[in-house]
Amino acid sequence: MNTSTVAARAADVQGKVTTFDAVVIGAGVAGMYQLYRLRQQGLNVVAIEAGSAVGGTWYWNRYPGARVDSQAYIYQYWFSEDLAKEWNWSERFPAQPETEAYLNFIADRCDLRKDIRFNTRVVGARFDEATNRWQIRTDAGDVLDTKYFVSCAGMLSAPLTSTFPGQETFKGPIFHTARWPKEPVELAGKRVGVVGTGATGIQVIQTIASQVGHMKVFLRTPQYIIPMRNPKYADSDRAAQKQGFQDMRKRVQGTFAGFDYDFAGDSFYDMTPEARRELMEKVWADGSLSFWLTLYPEMFTDQKVNDEVSEFVREKMRERIKDPVLAEKLIPTSYGFGTHRVPLETQFLEAFLRPNVEIVDVKASPIVCVTPEGVKTADGKIHELDVLILATGFDAGTGALTRMDIRGRGGRSLTEDWNRDIRSTMGLMVNGYPNLFTTAAPLAPSAAFCNMTTCLQQQVDWVTDCIKYMESHDLKVIEPTRETEDKWVAHHDEIANATLVTKTDSWYMGSNIEGKPRRLLSYIGGVGTYRQKCDEVTASNYAGFNLQ
Ligand code: NA7
């Protein structure tokens, strides 16, 4: 052991050292389930959670209008039919408080909280090659010594809170949407600025437009949108969902994006323009992400197909925005429909018809800084505000892990590795980091092209099976070989680079972060295909992985 390792270990053990079989980061959808599954296996496991309660995304993102874009009956756990039968969703796309309440219900019923350390953040972790164990450091100064280290830290959990210089000088409050306070925020009558019109900004803007005094929306890139159809559920709907639990559980596992709907098998080129129009109208009327994820697979790869669908959506948007100047600002033309996340919305465009809502075109005149009075744009103008809302997004996929100091073999740093090149083996493990399992990490569908609950549960199940195998075979270490990882990265890139998604700038490509290596974060080969590939690895007793 060299001197720096000795020093690092000595520093590590200043806090209290506790030994575990497995440490899970996060108590959101994935972390809660991972804790449950490993505990069920008889392992001594703890989950570390930065928030004061369970929920992950649904704990942090409590901004006005926060709502899930997956239908409630597929945004749930599948491990217990009894629990599913007890829970009653109120509507098709529930708002944040209801989803958070559901996750609390699961935590209660599975008695999860006793094994979760809340208000605690993992700050670093080091793999000790002498013992084949991880030492994980928390901001409480404690050290957790563990064989297995499972990250359920989330894909969109590292918010970009310090977006602009001068934020600290602003006289009013600044809220990033993913750090929205639990206490009510008074917006009535206030001059409110909103930066960002992604899925989050859209939900905020459409919700607060009628409450605020005046709103300035700092808009850089307009979005294709789909109007959400969100009926309340009747008892008969809920009964049918409960009845269909097992079928639905199977169904979501095999579709392209982990939803219940899938491509219908219609090929664009086999259909007449009239038939295509009819299909688009029909799917559009569903008011869900099915318009994005079921029309034609070619929409993601073929410019002509994408152009036709994009124009259809633009036409739908133009019907709602008659003013040509406003239409030009709000309707996208510079990229294709569906080449990054498509938000569902409710009266979002209509918010801009209100006299108290104004667009500041920050493509033409970018934001330079925040001043005590408000936001300064490149044209020299200061936009005076009382409250500033940042819906500016996340360091997606990698940020949750690279913001920690994770050290693998030879002290190598995951932050440095991923700052150079974002790689993983099926999004589940990384060569050089033995016994570290990652959910919602790059190069798996769970990084963006999936109904998250489907993919997170599949990944947790894979990790759980792998750990079970390790324990039953008395193994100490598992790690994908470099060659296996190279093959997965090449496979991922081949599929990704054949799509139009890689041509559009967004967090999907990491391009919202300056200097982030460009690679599609999400595996786009389909959830069903991905599951099959993961299952093959399990069935082969982890061929392509070093086991000791
Ligand atoms: P997104 O989708 O990354 O959106 C961030 C928005 O913030 C987007 O409109 C950005 O414009 C805008 N932005 C970011 N920085 C700036 C600056 N400097 N100036 C102007 N505008 C800026 O984050 P969301 O939270 O909406 O959604 C993330 C995911 O959460 C979503 O996809 C769902 O899966 C749930 P840009 O497009 O970069 O021009």
Tens digits of residue pLDDT in 142-199: 999 999 999 999 999 999 999 999 999 999 999 999 999 999 999 999 999 999 999 9
Phi, psi at residue 411, to the nearest 5°? 75, 10
Is the pLDDT at 9 greater than 90? The verdict is no
What does the pLDDT average to over 133-146? 97
For the question of whether the overall pTM of this predicted structure is more than 0.85, the answer is yes
Distance of alpha carbon 296 from alpha carbon 312, whole angstroms:
14
DSSP codes joined into one string, 100-140: HHHHHHHHHHTT-GGGEE-S--EEEEEEETTTTEEEEEETT
Q: In this structure, are strands 226-227 and 17-25 parallel, antiparallel, or unpaired? A: unpaired
Task: Work out the percent of the chain whose per-residue pLDDT is above 90.
Answer: 96
Which H or E element spans position 18? strand 17-25
By CB atoms closer than 10 A (0-12, 13-18, 19+), residue 310 is buried
Q: How many CB atoms lie within 10 A of CB 197?
A: 23
Distance of alpha carbon 154 from alpha carbon 30, whole angstroms:
8
Domains of the chain, residue spans: 3-54+112-158+395-547
Predicted local distance difference test score (pLDDT) of residue 264: 84
By CB atoms closer than 10 A (0-12, 13-18, 19+), residue 11 is exposed
- Tokens standing for residue 167: 């934020």
Q: Whose Cα sits closest to atom 28 in ligand 1? A: 393
Phi, psi at residue 512, to the nearest 5°? -80, -5
Predicted local distance difference test score (pLDDT) of residue 11: 42
Query: Which of the listed residues 60, 175, 392 should we mutate to test ligand 1's pocket, taking the one with most ligand atoms within 8 A of CB?
Result: 392
Predicted local distance difference test score (pLDDT) of residue 14: 56
How far away, in angstroms, is 196 Cα from ligand 1 center? Answer: 5
Query: What pLDDT digit, counting tens, does each position of 261-285 carry?
Result: 999 877 899 999 999 999 999 999 9
Is the pLDDT at 63 greater than 70? The verdict is yes
Query: What pLDDT digit, counting tens, does each position of 417-436 carry?
Result: 999 999 999 999 999 999 99
160: which residues sit within 8 A by CB, 6+ positions away? 176, 390, 392, 393, 394, 395, 512, 513
Q: Whose Cα sits closest to atom 32 in ligand 1? A: 341
Query: Which of the listed residues 206, 228, 341, 450 should we mutate to test ligand 1's pocket, taking the one with most ligand atoms within 8 A of CB?
Result: 341
Architecture of domain 3-54+112-158+395-547: 3-Layer(bba) Sandwich (3.50)
What does the pLDDT average to over 482-486? 98
Query: Which of the listed residues 29, 200, 522 should we mutate to test ligand 1's pocket, taking the one with most ligand atoms within 8 A of CB?
Result: 200
- Residue pair 259/291 in contact (Cβ under 8 Å)? The answer is no
Residue at token pair 């990882």: 485
Q: Whose Cα sits closest to atom 35 in ligand 1? A: 199
Is the pLDDT at 6 greater than 60? The verdict is no
- Bridge partners (DSSP) listed for residue 370: 375
- Tokens standing for residue 269: 């080129």
Distance of alpha carbon 507 from alpha carbon 299, whole angstroms:
20
Through-space distance between the first and last CA atoms of the chain, rounded to whole angstroms: 21
Mean pLDDT over the full length of the chain? 96
Is the pLDDT at 12 greater than 50? The verdict is no
296: which residues sit within 8 A by CB, 6+ positions away? 263, 266, 267, 268, 305, 309
- Residue pair 376/367 in contact (Cβ under 8 Å)? The answer is yes
Q: Whose Cα sits closest to atom 37 in ligand 1? A: 221
- Residue pair 86/198 in contact (Cβ under 8 Å)? The answer is no
What does the pLDDT average to over 41-47? 98
How far away, in angstroms, is 321 Cα from ligand 1 center? Answer: 22
Q: Would you tell me the crossing angle of helices 303-320 and 273-284 to the nearest 10 degrees?
A: 50
Q: Whose Cα sits closest to atom 29 in ligand 1? A: 199
Predicted local distance difference test score (pLDDT) of residue 266: 76
Is the pLDDT at 114 greater than 90? The verdict is yes
Q: Which residues line ligand 1 (CB under 6 A)?
A: 156, 163, 195-201, 218, 220-221, 341, 362, 367, 391-394, 507, 512
